[in-house]
Amino acid sequence: MTAPPPRHALVTGASSGIGLAIAQRLLREGWAVTGLSRRPPDLVDPRFTHRAFDLLDGDIASLGDLRPDALVHAAGVLRVGRLGELDHAAGAAMWHLHVDVATRLADALAPHLPDGGRIVLIGSRVANGAPGRSQYAATKAALLGLARSWGAELAPRGITVNVVAPGATDTPMLHDPARAGVAPRRPPIGRFVQPEEIAALTAFLLSPEAGAITGQQIVVCGGASLST
């Protein structure tokens, strides 16, 4: 008997950080993965395909031909600034990447997802608000509105849509000089969240066992939200 083909996930931001960790985790669990990023990751696996793509400028509608079983939008960027010093171009770029790209991806791919398909958006604990990060927080807060709306639309087909919202996670973004004015705080557990922990939760949300979870935001913050 011929084995069924592996499930196929499309993962954005797969070149590093959380996106790369998610791609690696899914490959270990037997998925085929197409990674979208401008530069290729250091990842070699016969079930991994890298597609060089600029999410800010590429033709996202053309990705509909990929026909994945799951979409994970992990690409992101953080720019900080306090009132009176906001960089409005940076705010527009974050909105474009986090919200508009997510919308365009879902619009292109959701009609072709199989019944029981999955969508996971990588948000942020900062969606609840944080000084010096208002523009970033607004873009991440918007993802929950998308997830709840799409979850309601797609529930009759068994397609779930959820947001995974990490706290301070040990990725290149955490150490980006562009955020020097707003330094990350170590969570109460005494260490930063690891990308592999976000990947494990994402993989669960993509699994059949998570079929009753939709329209939710799950925060992974190492206890940081317990004191604020």
Taking the C-alpha atoms of residue 170 and residue 184, their distance in angstroms, rounded to an integer, is 10
pLDDT value at residue 177 = 63
31 in catalytic set? no
State the residue for tokens 């799951």. Answer: 70
pTM above 0.95, yes or no: no
Q: Are the C-beta atoms of residues 73 and 121 closer than 8 Å to each other? A: yes
> Is residue 135 situated within a structural domain?
yes
Q: What is the mean pLDDT of each run of 10 residues along the chain (228 residues)?
A: 84 96 98 96 94 94 93 96 95 97 97 97 95 96 98 98 93 66 77 95 98 97 81
> Is residue 66 situated within a structural domain?
yes
> Is residue 71 situated within a structural domain?
yes
pLDDT value at residue 187 = 86
> Is residue 157 situated within a structural domain?
yes
> Is residue 56 situated within a structural domain?
yes
> Is residue 2 situated within a structural domain?
no
Q: How many domains would you assign to the chain?
A: 1
Q: Residue ranges of the alpha helices (H) in the chain? A: 17-28, 88-95, 101-109, 134-154, 195-205
Q: Are the C-beta atoms of residues 223 and 155 closer than 8 Å to each other? A: no
pLDDT value at residue 180 = 54
> Is residue 209 situated within a structural domain?
yes
pLDDT value at residue 181 = 58
Report CA dihedral (108, 171, 27, 160) to the nearest 10 degrees. Answer: -40
Taking the C-alpha atoms of residue 78 and residue 61, their distance in angstroms, rounded to an integer, is 25
Among 99, 118, 120, which Cα is nearest to 201's? 120
- Active-site residue, selected from the candidate residues 31, 48, 53, 136: 136
Taking the C-alpha atoms of residue 75 and residue 21, their distance in angstroms, rounded to an integer, is 12
**Separation in Å, CA 202 to CA 80, 86, 109, 133:** 26, 32, 18, 25
* Residue 171's CATH number: 3.40.50.720
> Is residue 197 situated within a structural domain?
yes
pLDDT value at residue 146 = 98
**Separation in Å, CA 184 to CA 2, 17, 78, 91, 98:** 50, 16, 12, 19, 20
Where in the sequence is the domain holding 158, given as residue range(s)? Answer: 8-220
pLDDT value at residue 228 = 53
